Amino acid sequence: MEIDLRGWLLMGSNALLYWLLQMLNDVSGASGITLSLNALYLVIPAACMRQRWALLLVFATGWLIDAPLPVAFGFHSIIFAIVVTLLHAFQRGLSRAGLGQLVLVALGVNTVLILVQSLLLAGPLLGNGAYWVRIASDLAFSSLALPLIGWWFFSWERWLLMICGSGSEAPETT
């Protein structure tokens, strides 16, 4: 059995991105801005890993995100698993995509993730206009920041995979 370093490299990259986003959100939280770039955790694993390993990776990443939040255990893990399963259907195309195309996919996935999470967590705030204004502002700022951060992050992940001898191409099906 051959050891595939992709999972470990991508988990380290996801942990790095999580840490950097937490620091950025701590600084920007005073002005009422929260960046949610969860799609960046999902696109490359869906493009270059076998589905079971990609699911394991996004489950661990979801648990990392859930740890400090007041949500049910596995909230993000379940949502991430569903999204990665849907993205995995397009694995061949994603593995050949350029950085710009990956950023566009991430923008669409991120918008859907923010809206789904907002609906699931709204509860009694569902009819509150201030809640939806906050969601809209977070979505707008996240959509503006994602191309810049996504371009860097996807380049980082591809470079890291390439330098360590793994590629970002889809795995062979056996």
How many whole angstroms separate alpha carbon 73 and alpha carbon 135? Answer: 22
Confidence of residue 173 (pLDDT cuts 50, 70, 90): low
Say if residue 31's pLDDT is above 80: yes
Ordered by start, the domain boundaries in the chain are 5-166
Q: How far apart are CA 69 and CA 165, in angstroms?
A: 36
Please report, for residues 20, 22, 83, 165, the alpha-carbon distance to residue 27 in angstroms, rounded to integers and kept in the order given. Answer: 11, 9, 29, 37
Residue among 79, 39, 33, 88 nearest 59 (CA): 79
pLDDT of 169 > 60? The answer is yes
pLDDT band at 170 (very low <50, low <70, confident <90, very high): low
Query: Residue 76: how many CB atoms within 10 A of its CB?
Result: 23
Nearest to 168 by CA among 37, 45, 56, 39: 45
Report the b/e string of 127-139 with b at 16+ CB within 10 A. eeeebeebbeebb
User: What pLDDT shows up at residue 95?
Assistant: 86
Contact between 14 and 41 under an 8 Å Cβ cutoff? The reply is yes
pTM of the model: 0.89
For the chain, percent of residues with pLDDT exceeding 70 = 93
Summarize the confidence of residues 92-99 as an average pLDDT: 89
